[in-house]
Structure 1
Amino acid sequence: MKQIIQDLKNGETILEEVPVPMVKSGHVLIKTTKSLVSLGTERMLVEFGKANFIQKARQQPDKVKMVLDKVKTDGLKPTMDAVFNKLNQPLPLGYCNVGEVVAVGRGVTEFKVGDRVASNGNHVEYVNVPKNLVAKIPDNVTDEEAAFTVIGSIGLQGIRLLNPTFGETIVVVGLGLIGLVTAELLLANGCNVIGFDFDPEKIRIAKEKGIVAINPAEGTDQVKFVESYTNGIGADGVIITASNKSNEIISQSANMCRKRGRVVLVGVIGLDISRADFYEKEISFQVSCSYGPGRYDEEYEQKGNDYPIGYVRWTEKRNFEAILTAISKGTLDVKPLITERIPLQEYQKIYGDMKNSRSIASILEYDSTEIPKSTVSVTQKSFEGKKGVIGIVGAGNFTSSTILPNLKKINADIKYIASSGGLSSTIMAKRHSIANSTSNYKEILEDNDVDLVFITTQHNMHASMVLESLKASKSVFVEKPLALTGIELEEIITEYNAQSVNVSVGFNRRFAPLAKKMKKLLGSDNTPINIVATMNAGFIPADVWVHDMEVGGGRIIGEACHYIDLCTYFAGSKVTAVCMNAMGLNPEENTDNASILLKYENGTNAVINYFANGSKAYSKERVEVYSQERTLIMDNWRKLKAFGFKGGKNTSSKQDKGHYNQFNELIKQQQKGGKPIIPFEEIVNTTKASFAAIESLKQGKWIEVN
């Protein structure tokens, strides 16, 4: 299937061939018939992509600060690699999609195959959308008209925040696509509507709809006009749907208002607000968030948990439905807004020169009769007779920034890369000369050429995919953690013992050059040591999936396990008991500010400080080891200081966390045989120790690791 994407690095807008997505639980798979190009929003993305690095930096000063902080801690090259990796990830364009449901995921009961629906899907022939972002289209509404659903909801949400009443005078600043829809909805709400825009065509359309439309370029003073129109009272409210960097708009909007008027921002403008403009009249100001309540809420959008209608009357989905009802009843007429209808293959007629486009609403038309494929061939390669042939499941940031660059250095044979949507895997397949991109990871498991599966998905999918891979007689490398529950772990152990393949987990720190040097200096006499390891992990907002105990497992199970394994590597022994204490008076199991004490079979004592409340300017990782009147101090995988060691010298190098060494050893082991690169019993012990840390916090005592 084909999808329109924006390349952020070179600024090109591309029609890419990608696999059709597999329908997910709680989602519906839609075959697109029409989609609407939101020229204002998409123009900004296209122009950002075409900007050079300096221009991009100027547009995102907060990101520049983050980059400079990372340079201080990680060094220039790792930071620049991260920046370029981010720019190499293209953006899918579009968010106004209409089509026919061709598949429904588990747990979806309100839609069936054949339903015509509107959604916030991209410009793509098939799109997989969560059920709470989809609405059925009334029979008397055409697909073209329904393509305005999401745009209409953006305007409607601004109106709901403004809360206008019948007879009030409301000003709409900016009569673009959203502005025109907003103005018409306000008319339907019984308001007197004044609209301002510099485009004569938009002024003409607005006047035909009964809006008092003014072009300031003709010499009209906007503030004085509103004052005159309202007999000196001022507007009851202003909705800003314009896109402009100037701070003048917000000032004018305040000056247009009556005392205690309201201003709602839907568009994007300069926000250097003058206190005097708002203070004297006690004017309220609010920014509207997209389509309505539920937007960017993982529970609502991705998990499908609706808000009770008695408490949240208008969610984003209910706003979709309200717009479709307005179109159906004729209170919103969007047909005059359609400027052009363009076949998908001719998309460059829209995107080729968006900066100078005078279009209001451009409709993309889809008429593909091709049978959708879940796998597309990217690079022709032969894998016959080879060992260590890899299939990668997961095409997220870690795969892009770390796994693929290191596998490329090793010249690894990669036959597949899979992603649920098909786009990210296709982009990475092209960039790294991978043979196939797929949205169906089961095709990897069914291919006899593949004997090593890399799993880099979200944490809650790790255990089930490891089990599937083992049952398919494939060796597995899975990013940490191996599992989120004891039951999952026991199932993996049982299946592992029944197979003759290997399981490895992404505990890369033990493979870092400085870790190997530390291990060599410590020797292998099994003498107990003291270890203090600190992870200055950094703050992650509470709504990010890694904190969700069911999806990410929390940061202790999901990330601190790295350092449990590292301590085990240095100790040369297994954990027998764990005790964890967390910051706060009433710490909960889902913490990312904790100290973990580890007791080992050989008497080693380890303390892992996993903190998320430190400065990002300070080193992210530090390890101290004390043994036989000797001390090793490792700082951020760049420096190692040795005290009391004969011939032990201080070492400095570029930051290396061991990923290359781990993958190199893993592939050699897969090709030539030999012992696993990490003993499976150590992987199990580390996983159980991470579970025990959480249990210790719950019970407030030491927990034995059996």
Structure 2
Amino acid sequence: MKQLIQSFKTGATILEEVPAPQVGRGSILIQTTRSLVSLGTERMLVEFGKANLVQKARQQPDKVRQVLDKIKTDGLMPTLEAVFNKLEQPLPLGYCNVGNVIAVGEGVSEFKIGDRVASNGPHAEFVCVPKHLAARVPDNVTDEEAAFTVIGSIGLQGIRLCNPTFGETIVVIGLGLIGLLTAQLLQANGCRVIGVDLDPAKIALARQQGITGINPSEGTDVVKYVTTLTNGTGADGVIITASAKSDEIITQAAHMSRKRGRIILVGVVGLQINRAAFYEKELSFQVSCSYGPGRYDEQYEQKGYDYPLPFVRWTEQRNFEAVLQAMAAGHLQVLPLITERVPLQDYQEIYARIGQSRSIASVLIYPLNTVHRSSVQIMPVASFAGANGVMGIIGAGNFTKMTLLPALQKASAHIKYIASNSGVTGTTLARKHHIPISTTTHQEILSDPEVDAVLITTRHNTHAAMVLQAMQAGKHVFVEKPLALNRDELEAIQQAYDGSVTLTVGFNRRHSPHAQKVKQLVGDAPMNIIATMNAGFIPLNVWVHDSKTGGGRIIGEACHFIDLITYFTGSKVTAVCMNAMGSQPTAQTDNATILLKYENGSTGVINYFSNGSKAYAKERIEVYTQERTAIIDNFRITRAYGFKGFSKLKTPLNKGHANQCKLFNERICKGGPALIPFEEIVNTTLASFAAIESMQQGKWISLQAQAQPELQPQAVLNHIDVI
């Protein structure tokens, strides 16, 4: 299928051929007929992409500080590599989509195949969106009209926050597309509306709709005009839909408001607020968040949990429906706002001049005969018949992009497939790394007899089921940590694993030259090890904290250090105790200390903290044994004390990813045992589970005494979602 994407690196807008998405659980698959170009938002993205590095840095000073901190901890070259990789990441354009439902995912009863819907899907021939980000289009609303649904809901949410009543005077500053839609909706609400803009054409269009239009560039003093029109009272509310860097707009809004008036920001303006004006009038100021309640809430948008209507009357989906109802009733007239209608293949008629365009609304028209294809051939597929070590990658996120693929490339690995949910990131990486096929279904990889190994880098909750599917398909498996999120998943893998294929988990740190040097130095004697992870803060609403999706940061990330200590000791964990900051049930599992007992008498301590400075080194490992000490400082410097003939190893940041991929590729091509014994992988995974159980129960958890539940592998497979 064709999809419009934006390059942050060059600013180029590209109509890319990508595999069409698959319908997911809780989502619907839509074949697009129309989409609306949001000229304001998309113009900013294009202009940002075309800016040079210095200009980009000036626009994002907070990102510059993060880069400087990363240079201090990781070094210059790894930081620059990360920055350039980030800039290469494509951005799908568009969020105002209309089309017909062609597939319905599990758990969706609100839509059926054939429904005509508006959604926040991108400019693409096929889009997959969660059910709460779509609304059914009334029969008397055309596709072109329905394309205004999402952007209309942005204005509507600003109105809801302003809470106007019948007869109030509301000023709308900025008569772009959102401003004009907002003004119309205010009129339908019984308000007297004053629109402000510097563009004569937009003022004329507003006046055609019965809106009082003011152009300050023609000499009108907006504050005095509003004050006079309201008999000296001032506006009841001001909704700012303009985009400007100046603070003048917010100051004017305060001066034209009545006492205890409301100011709502929908657009983007300078926010140096004049305290005196706000103080004297007791003004209310609020920033509107996109489409309405539910926006950016993963529970609502991705997992499908609705807010109860009696308590949250207007969610983003219900705002979509309200906008469509206004169109159906004739209260919202959008067709006069359309400046141009352009076939998708002629998209450059819009984007080539987007920076200078005076258009209000541009509509893209899509072909009706597009075939839904789940894969795209990026380059000629070389014959892999008879070759050893052919790989398919499932997952195209940051880890795959910035770490795994560069390491596999250095290892000269043969990669035939890369699978991603949307198809965009996978296709971009396929082009960069010369991977023949980009797909949106991992089943294609599993069913290809030429593929010997599958590498899984998807979200944590999919790992166990995909591992089972890959092993059942007879593929060797590399899965990024964790292997599983709970005992049932782990038990299913244990039952399915028969040794006919190798299973490797991405515990890369044991493959670092620093870890291998320490292992060589310390030998097999019992030892004490302290591993400290300055993990960095991650907001609680991010998926890694979700026990069902990410498993939490102990199971999802601290397992790295359990494996590393196991590697050093050459033994297995027998008991675990964890103490976390705070107390149950709100203990912070990303601020915790884990104690480990090993069969050979060694002990391990893992300090996993998220409340430290990001300017400080991220990882530090200390090994104490036989009156000797070895210290690994952030996998850049290893210092040894008491060891004859060795005192220091210094390298660029090296956590072992490249060596791990090299060794895995050799195993797949030439044969040999798995990089990590299966029993150690199971032991490490059980220890991570035991750490959480220890915190919950307030006691040591013995791994030796734990009885394993019985579970068939199919029970885990039933929970997998498609990619």
TM-score of the aligned structures, taking structure 1 as reference length: 0.99
> In structure 1, what residue type is equivalent to 2:285?
F
> In structure 2, what residue type is equivalent to 1:293?
P
How big is each residue's C-alpha offset from its partner over 1:113-147, in whole Å with a ceiling of 9 and x where there is no partner? 00000000000000000000010000000000000
Which of 544, 556, 562 lines up with 1:564 in the alignment?
562
Corresponding position: 1:676 with 2:677: no
How big is each residue's C-alpha offset from its partner over 1:75-128, in whole Å with a ceiling of 9 and x where there is no partner? 111111111111111110000000000000000001000000000000000000
**Hey, what does 1:206 align to over in structure 2?**
206
Corresponding position: 1:160 with 2:160: yes
Moved more, 79-88 or 318-327: 79-88
Tell me how far apart the structure 2 counterparts of residues 699 and 166 of structure 1 sit (CA, whole Å).
Answer: 58
**Hey, what does 1:470 align to over in structure 2?**
471
State whether residues 588 and 697 of structure 1, in contact with CA within 8 Å, keep that contact through their aligned partners in structure 2.
no
Tell me how far apart the structure 1 counterparts of residues 77 and 703 of structure 2 sit (CA, whole Å).
Answer: 41
Tell me how far apart the structure 2 counterparts of residues 427 and 651 of structure 1 sit (CA, whole Å).
Answer: 37
CA drift of 1:701 comes to 0.9
CA drift of 1:589 comes to 6.8
Tell me how far apart the structure 1 counterparts of residues 554 and 386 of structure 2 sit (CA, whole Å).
Answer: 41
1:260-659 to structure 2, matched below 5 A, reads 260-380=260-380, 381-497=382-498, 499-523=499-523, 526-586=524-584, 588=586, 591-659=589-657
CA drift of 1:382 comes to 2.4
CA drift of 1:585 comes to 3.3
State whether residues 476 and 503 of structure 2, in contact with CA within 8 Å, keep that contact through their aligned partners in structure 1.
yes
> In structure 2, what residue type is equivalent to 1:451?
D
**Hey, what does 2:81 align to over in structure 1?**
81
CA drift of 1:650 comes to 1.3
Give SS of 2:227's match: helix
Give SS of 1:532's match: strand
State whether residues 589 and 694 of structure 1, in contact with CA within 8 Å, keep that contact through their aligned partners in structure 2.
no
How big is each residue's C-alpha offset from its partner over 1:18-52, in whole Å with a ceiling of 9 and x where there is no partner? 00100000000000000000100110011111111
CA drift of 1:674 comes to 1.5
Tell me how far apart the structure 1 counterparts of residues 405 and 271 of structure 2 sit (CA, whole Å).
Answer: 41
Tell me how far apart the structure 1 counterparts of residues 126 and 307 of structure 2 sit (CA, whole Å).
Answer: 28
Tell me how far apart the structure 2 counterparts of residues 144 and 118 of structure 1 sit (CA, whole Å).
Answer: 10
CA drift of 1:277 comes to 2.3
> In structure 2, what residue type is equivalent to 1:52?
N
State whether residues 589 and 698 of structure 1, in contact with CA within 8 Å, keep that contact through their aligned partners in structure 2.
no
CA drift of 1:355 comes to 1.1
1:19-38 to structure 2, matched below 5 A, reads 19-38=19-38
Tell me how far apart the structure 2 counterparts of residues 139 and 575 of structure 1 sit (CA, whole Å).
Answer: 64
Tell me how far apart the structure 2 counterparts of residues 229 and 309 of structure 1 sit (CA, whole Å).
Answer: 38
How big is each residue's C-alpha offset from its partner over 1:500-519, in whole Å with a ceiling of 9 and x where there is no partner? 00000000000001000000
State whether residues 518 and 632 of structure 1, in contact with CA within 8 Å, keep that contact through their aligned partners in structure 2.
yes
CA drift of 1:607 comes to 0.5
Q: 1:554 to 1:333 in 2, by over 3 A?
A: same
**Hey, what does 2:193 align to over in structure 1?**
193
**Hey, what does 1:117 align to over in structure 2?**
117
Tell me how far apart the structure 2 counterparts of residues 417 and 272 of structure 1 sit (CA, whole Å).
Answer: 47
CA drift of 1:233 comes to 1.1
Tell me how far apart the structure 1 counterparts of residues 119 and 16 of structure 2 sit (CA, whole Å).
Answer: 21
Tell me how far apart the structure 1 counterparts of residues 76 and 590 of structure 2 sit (CA, whole Å).
Answer: 28
Tell me how far apart the structure 2 counterparts of residues 112 and 149 of structure 1 sit (CA, whole Å).
Answer: 20
Tell me how far apart the structure 2 counterparts of residues 674 and 103 of structure 1 sit (CA, whole Å).
Answer: 44
**Hey, what does 2:107 align to over in structure 1?**
107
Superposition RMSD on alpha carbons, in Å?
0.9
Tell me how far apart the structure 2 counterparts of residues 376 and 82 of structure 1 sit (CA, whole Å).
Answer: 27
CA drift of 1:370 comes to 3.1
Report the count of equivalent residues. 703
CA drift of 1:586 comes to 3.1
CA drift of 1:544 comes to 0.2
State whether residues 536 and 611 of structure 1, in contact with CA within 8 Å, keep that contact through their aligned partners in structure 2.
yes
Moved more, 222-231 or 284-293: 222-231
How big is each residue's C-alpha offset from its partner over 1:598-649, in whole Å with a ceiling of 9 and x where there is no partner? 1001000110111111111111000000000000111000111100001112
Tell me how far apart the structure 2 counterparts of residues 567 and 368 of structure 1 sit (CA, whole Å).
Answer: 58
State whether residues 141 and 328 of structure 1, in contact with CA within 8 Å, keep that contact through their aligned partners in structure 2.
yes
CA drift of 1:588 comes to 4.8
**Hey, what does 1:47 align to over in structure 2?**
47
> In structure 1, what residue type is equivalent to 2:357?
S
State whether residues 547 and 590 of structure 1, in contact with CA within 8 Å, keep that contact through their aligned partners in structure 2.
no
CA drift of 1:412 comes to 0.9
State whether residues 260 and 282 of structure 2, in contact with CA within 8 Å, keep that contact through their aligned partners in structure 1.
yes
Structure 2 residue runs without a partner (length 5+) = 705-723
Tell me how far apart the structure 2 counterparts of residues 137 and 212 of structure 1 sit (CA, whole Å).
Answer: 31
Q: 1:649 to 1:587 in 2, by over 3 A?
A: farther
Tell me how far apart the structure 1 counterparts of residues 583 and 37 of structure 2 sit (CA, whole Å).
Answer: 52
CA drift of 1:590 comes to 6.3
Tell me how far apart the structure 2 counterparts of residues 673 and 377 of structure 1 sit (CA, whole Å).
Answer: 29
Structure 1 residue runs without a partner (length 5+) = none
**Hey, what does 1:182 align to over in structure 2?**
182
Tell me how far apart the structure 2 counterparts of residues 348 and 484 of structure 1 sit (CA, whole Å).
Answer: 47
State whether residues 549 and 590 of structure 1, in contact with CA within 8 Å, keep that contact through their aligned partners in structure 2.
no
**Hey, what does 2:173 align to over in structure 1?**
173
Tell me how far apart the structure 1 counterparts of residues 172 and 4 of structure 2 sit (CA, whole Å).
Answer: 31
CA drift of 1:490 comes to 1.1
Give SS of 1:354's match: coil
Give SS of 1:355's match: coil
Tell me how far apart the structure 2 counterparts of residues 675 and 540 of structure 1 sit (CA, whole Å).
Answer: 37
Give SS of 1:593's match: strand
Tell me how far apart the structure 1 counterparts of residues 53 and 493 of structure 2 sit (CA, whole Å).
Answer: 47
Tell me how far apart the structure 2 counterparts of residues 590 and 379 of structure 1 sit (CA, whole Å).
Answer: 48
> In structure 2, what residue type is equivalent to 1:182?
T
Give SS of 2:281's match: coil
**Hey, what does 1:660 align to over in structure 2?**
658
TM-score of the aligned structures, taking structure 2 as reference length: 0.96
State whether residues 118 and 136 of structure 1, in contact with CA within 8 Å, keep that contact through their aligned partners in structure 2.
yes
Tell me how far apart the structure 2 counterparts of residues 276 and 385 of structure 1 sit (CA, whole Å).
Answer: 78
Moved more, 175-184 or 378-387: 378-387
Give SS of 1:387's match: coil
How big is each residue's C-alpha offset from its partner over 1:172-197, in whole Å with a ceiling of 9 and x where there is no partner? 00000000000011111111100011
State whether residues 577 and 694 of structure 2, in contact with CA within 8 Å, keep that contact through their aligned partners in structure 1.
yes
How big is each residue's C-alpha offset from its partner over 1:420-467, in whole Å with a ceiling of 9 and x where there is no partner? 111110010001100100001000000011111000000000000000
> In structure 1, what residue type is equivalent to 2:274?
S
CA drift of 1:399 comes to 0.5
How big is each residue's C-alpha offset from its partner over 1:261-309, in whole Å with a ceiling of 9 and x where there is no partner? 1100000111111211211111111000000000000000000100000
> In structure 1, what residue type is equivalent to 2:397?
G
> In structure 2, what residue type is equivalent to 1:656?
N
CA drift of 1:587 comes to 5.6
Tell me how far apart the structure 2 counterparts of residues 27 and 71 of structure 1 sit (CA, whole Å).
Answer: 41
Tell me how far apart the structure 1 counterparts of residues 68 and 509 of structure 2 sit (CA, whole Å).
Answer: 25
Give SS of 1:359's match: coil
Tell me how far apart the structure 1 counterparts of residues 402 and 698 of structure 2 sit (CA, whole Å).
Answer: 39
Give SS of 1:414's match: strand
> In structure 1, what residue type is equivalent to 2:571?
S
Tell me how far apart the structure 2 counterparts of residues 309 and 98 of structure 1 sit (CA, whole Å).
Answer: 25
Q: 1:402 to 1:100 in 2, by over 3 A?
A: same
CA drift of 1:570 comes to 0.3
CA drift of 1:368 comes to 4.2
**Hey, what does 2:220 align to over in structure 1?**
220
Identity of aligned residues (%): 67
State whether residues 554 and 590 of structure 1, in contact with CA within 8 Å, keep that contact through their aligned partners in structure 2.
no
Corresponding position: 1:701 with 2:699: yes
The runs of at least 4 consecutive aligned structure 1 residues that moved more than 4 Å come to 587-590
